[in-house]
Copies of this chain bind each other. A is one copy, B any other.
């Protein structure tokens, strides 16, 4: 990608621009490919997409195992309506359920059901195995740690609220 832009899209790329371009290309490709592999392996195994597991996980760690809809959207980097629809889908499958909040009647909680806990118990090990196979296997321990540290620096620099 970089070599291309450097010559074709306006010329005059600096070294810094070239480096950023290459880094971006690798970043996007790596996440896309690993995501695709994970989805393909997880779907037949447990019928859940990686994003579904991510949601169930966030719920399982939350106090009372539930989250306000707005927090679902924020923590998953999803629009408000995206959160509504995600919870719709998982609620239909019995993995989460909606609950009213007594103290503020505007908020709706999404809470983990026992079925959701069960699904997560099965999906968790599969997800972890997939991540080790597709990600960890190719990197040494402190190399992985170094990459994570660099990415986290970008995240905090860009103002990501964990």
Contact = CB atoms under 8 A, between A and B. Distances in A.
Copies in the complex: 2
Contacts of A24: 34, 131, 135
SS of A interface (majority) = helix
Contact of A155 (B5, B30, B77, B124): B30
Contact of A124 (B9, B123, B134, B151): B9
Interface string A73-107: 00001000000000000000000000000000000
Interface residues of A, number: 71
A121 interface: yes
Q: What 6 A-B pairs have minimum CB-CB distances, sorted nearest first?
A: A9-B124, A20-B136, A4-B61, A8-B60, A26-B151, A20-B131
